[in-house]
């Protein structure tokens, strides 16, 4: 599923040709995909406000659009906001994990070892593996006329990356595959089944279809990964994959099996749709414009022997700019816990219980217009700074390395006459 740069909205939303292809293939997925694009166009239009001062009250709640105020809400230094609005949705889907908990002892207990394990994956390690798997995928995924189908490549690469770090898909309880092959029955599909739960939980106003699919695919993943966990426990085995192994070590007791399964699913859900959404946007945007060819020419002309350095020199800045222009996620949300005022210029009176819409898109576009290269609003803040928002992404280095590795591999791809 590819994002259409002309259509803001659902992460990784398909373009027209893809939707037609999905329908022609006799699946219901084309109709589903049409529905999401239409719904998100409506939502985007309804929320396209640009208040002077970066915040405004709307009939739905309080919309925050400036980078400064978006980061202020995420940092939440006065405890004015809660993330726990995610919890009822999580309960109906993958189950509750620490992303849905405000800071406190239980959040600390569940998150500290898991986030530390994620943070140990370096950008270079992620880049190297992603590049290797991308090059392998490019030899097998058809690229008619040399035009790469980035979603097809992404589906193959992510199945491989996830096996490496998570031991999932294991081929038994979770099978490798993209979004379109899900039949809404177990076994779970990786990476495909992770998209809908993420959209359902993190998008401020999921419609009825996103709600149903987000719930169903989340339940399938929770059930499938529970079986995987039970199997490993019964065999007395620890997975070799670094992240899942760390989570097994974090929750060694059998009574924590479901929490362990939820954590595995939840962390993967944090990684997959976000990287995929940005990846597909970047590549499709560059394929449509002169950027891809211009960057290819720069790579060809470079004498830098270290590909990691070369990717940073040549690909990183345009990649950040495209992410800023059309980020995934495009929105996050919170609930107000108490009455307070937000904003200096044209301040808004917030009431306890108000829904706070955080426009990541407007925050990052503001940064882009100002010529800055910061992408931290996309990641819920910058965890390397102190203080940082409680939920700021622990996978920034890993996610950025994966994204850079795949994008670099695609830009560097030289189709052979024979093709894959």
Contacts with ligand HEM, residue ranges (CB under 6 A): 83, 98-99, 111, 115, 118, 267, 270-271, 274-275, 278, 329, 332, 378-380, 391, 393-395, 398-399, 403
Contact assessment for residue 280 and residue 154, using Cβ atoms and an 8 Å cutoff = yes
Q: Give Dmax (Cα) for the chain.
A: 65
Distance in angstroms (rounded) separating the CA atoms of residues 241 and 228:
13
Token look-up 């979770």 returns 174
Q: How far is the CB of 222 from ligand HEM (least distance, A)?
A: 16
- Please say which residue, 36 or 86, places its beta carbon nearer to ligand HEM: 86
Distance in angstroms (rounded) separating the CA atoms of residues 70 and 64:
6
Q: How far is the CB of 87 from ligand HEM (least distance, A)?
A: 12
- Please say which residue, 143 or 264, places its beta carbon nearer to ligand HEM: 264
Residue 108, CA distances (Å) to 100, 103, 153, 390, 405 in order: 12, 7, 37, 10, 32
Q: How far is the CB of 94 from ligand HEM (least distance, A)?
A: 12
- Please say which residue, 19 or 67, places its beta carbon nearer to ligand HEM: 67
Length, in residues, of the chain:
420
Distance of CA 42 to the CA centre of its chain: 22
50: which 2 tokens? 């640009």
Nearest CA to 200 out of 179, 188, 215 is that of 215
Distance in angstroms (rounded) separating the CA atoms of residues 163 and 388:
31
Please report which helix (H) or strand (E) contains residue 367, including its range. Answer: helix 360-369
Q: How far is the CB of 115 from ligand HEM (least distance, A)?
A: 5
Q: Which residues pair with 331 in a beta bridge?
A: 359
- Please say which residue, 83 or 174, places its beta carbon nearer to ligand HEM: 83
Residue nearest to ligand HEM (CB): 395
- Please say which residue, 22 or 354, places its beta carbon nearer to ligand HEM: 354
Q: How far is the CB of 416 from ligand HEM (least distance, A)?
A: 30
Q: How far is the CB of 90 from ligand HEM (least distance, A)?
A: 12
């Amino acid at each position: 599923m590819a994002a259409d740069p002309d259509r803001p909205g659902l992460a990784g939303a398909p373009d027209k040709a893809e939707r037609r292809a999905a329908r022609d293939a006799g699946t219901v997925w084309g109709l589903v995909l049409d529905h999401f694009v239409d719904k998100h166009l409506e939502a985007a239009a309804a929320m396209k406000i640009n208040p002077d001062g970066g915040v405004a009250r709307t009939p739905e709640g309080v919309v925050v659009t400036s980078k400064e105020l978006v980061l202020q809400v995420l940092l939440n230094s006065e405890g004015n906001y809660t993330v726990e609005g995610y919890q009822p949705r999580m309960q109906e889907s993958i189950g509750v994990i620490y992303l849905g908990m405000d800071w406190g002892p239980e959040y600390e207990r569940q998150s500290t070892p898991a986030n530390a394990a994620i943070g140990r994956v370096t950008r270079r390690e992620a880049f190297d593996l992603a590049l290797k798997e991308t090059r392998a995928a490019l030899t097998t995924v058809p690229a008619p006329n040399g035009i790469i189908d980035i979603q097809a490549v992404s589906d193959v690469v992510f199945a491989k990356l996830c096996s490496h770090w998570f031991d999932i898909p294991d081929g038994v309880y979770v099978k490798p595959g993209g979004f379109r092959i899900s039949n809404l029955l177990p076994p779970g599909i990786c990476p495909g089944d992770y998209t809908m739960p993420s959209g359902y939980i993190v998008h401020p106003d999921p419609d009825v279809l996103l709600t149903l699919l987000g719930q169903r695919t989340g339940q399938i993943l929770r059930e499938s990964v529970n079986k995987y966990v039970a199997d490993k426990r019964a065999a007395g085995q620890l997975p070799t994959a670094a992240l899942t192994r760390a989570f097994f070590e974090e929750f060694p007791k059998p009574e924590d099996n479901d929490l362990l399964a939820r954590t595995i699913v939840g962390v993967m859900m944090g990684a997959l749709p976000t990287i995929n959404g940005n990846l597909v946007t970047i590549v499709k945007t560059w394929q449509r414009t002169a950027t891809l060819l211009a960057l290819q020419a720069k790579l060809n002309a470079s004498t830098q022997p270290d590909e990691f350095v070369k990717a940073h020199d040549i690909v990183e800045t345009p990649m950040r700019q495209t992410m800023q222009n059309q980020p995934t996620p495009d929105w996050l949300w919170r609930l107000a816990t108490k009455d307070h005022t937000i904003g200096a210029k044209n301040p808004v009176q917030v009431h306890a219980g108000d829904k706070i819409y955080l426009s990541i898109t407007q925050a990052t576009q503001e940064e882009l217009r100002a010529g800055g290269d910061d992408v931290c609003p996309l990641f819920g803040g910058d965890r390397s700074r102190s203080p940082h928002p409680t939920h700021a992404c622990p996978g920034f280095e890993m996610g950025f390395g994966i994204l850079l590795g795949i994008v670099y591999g695609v830009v560097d791809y030289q189709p052979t006459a024979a093709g894959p």
